[in-house]
Amino acid sequence: MKKILFVFVCVFAALQLSAQQPNISNPDFEQWTTASYPAGWTTSISGSITGIPLIGSYPLSFNFATRVTDAHSGNYALKLQAKSLDLSLFGGPEITVPGIAQLGTAGSFSVSLETIQTLMSIDSTTDISSLIQNMDMDELSSLANIFSKGEPFNMVPTAMKAWVKYLPPVGEVDTMLALIGAYREGETSMILMGDMPESYGYFALTDRVENYTEITVPLQYNEEDVNCDSLVIVFMSSSFMNANTATELYIDDISFEFDYMSVESTERIAMNLYPNPAADYMMISLDNQLDMYDVTVYDMNGRQIKKLEGLTGNTRMAVDELSAGTYFLKVQQAGNTTVRKFVVE
């Protein structure tokens, strides 16, 4: 049987299950297509800037990643650094982009120099909504291509962890960012543009960290709906406003926590499950026999196995079609939720 991927309840509030959790592509950065491109991640931006005096259009390509042997564990880690492009000889600006690593794949863009200059002028006082409304929608759509939609993932983590070293130049201030978004169908995957999903996490680090240190990025999540369709993860070596090409961000060994609320804190429906363990069937008996309720069964991978809706009274639920193992049963009644673990023999 696969190791635990989905932990919805704990026996006690202080208990945290330590079994292996689900993960993403290349979480330890051991796999590289080349020495500059980690498998499963986008660490580059490519496209073209139009409307530049003297030359018209200019192709732009930044790759921020380097494979390094200075790792927390294993053979390799990812190092990110900002990159610059000086267009002053052609009447344009110097462009500095922070080092960015995104889970999944991304496309290319084509925008005007005017749009680039507008974006570079953004600061903490800028009204982003008004600025976007006055920009060319086609160019904004083009820019959206550089943002990854992440990769398929079926459970919302309660936290993401990673081992990092952060080395801005001594005596200088810089800010590393880590963002994670758990998206459901219908939500727009634009976490870098400020369109946060219902479940997301955000972490900023300004201190210089010379040795690998584990960071934790807690997620805001909806305990009533812990499933998602995809996971978007972004690491940035600097802020967009003051990207520093000398700052180095090392990333290794990404993992997740799924320590949802304990049985005691979610036990809002009084009920009995029997027999447990079960072989052929299980009886679900609620103290509240009047209000209708729904029952959902999940396997240990977080996949929904079956759902029964509009139930009243006691319910005899067949389990003989389920493989032997451990499952979670979620009951929802009158706005309350309770989750129980049961075993099929």
pLDDT at 163: 97
Residue 3 pLDDT exceeds 50? no
Q: Which residues of 250-273 are buried (b: 16+ CB within 10 A; e: fewer)?
A: bbbbbbbbbbbbbbeebbebebeb
| Model confidence band, residue 328 (pLDDT cutoffs 50, 70, 90) | confident
| Element containing residue 264 per DSSP (H, E) | helix 263-266
pLDDT at 261: 39
Residue of 303, 298, 308, 306 whose CA lies nearest to 339: 298
End-to-end Cα, the chain, rounded Å: 14
C-alpha separations of 231 from 6, 78, 190, 213, 234 in Å: 15, 19, 12, 23, 10
Task: Provide the whole-model pTM.
Answer: 0.69
**Mean pLDDT score, 242-258:** 92
Domain ranges of the chain: 32-257, 266-344
pLDDT at 53: 78
**Tokens read off for 141:** 């759509």
Please, what CATH class does the domain formed by 32-257 belong to? mainly beta
pLDDT at 96: 86
Residue 316 pLDDT exceeds 70? yes
Average pLDDT, the chain: 82
**Mean pLDDT score, 45-56:** 83
CATH no. of 266-344? 2.60.40.3080
Can you tell me the distance from the alpha carbon of 68 to that of 42, in angstroms, rounded to the nearest whole number?
A: 17
* Same fold yes or no, 32-257 and 266-344: no
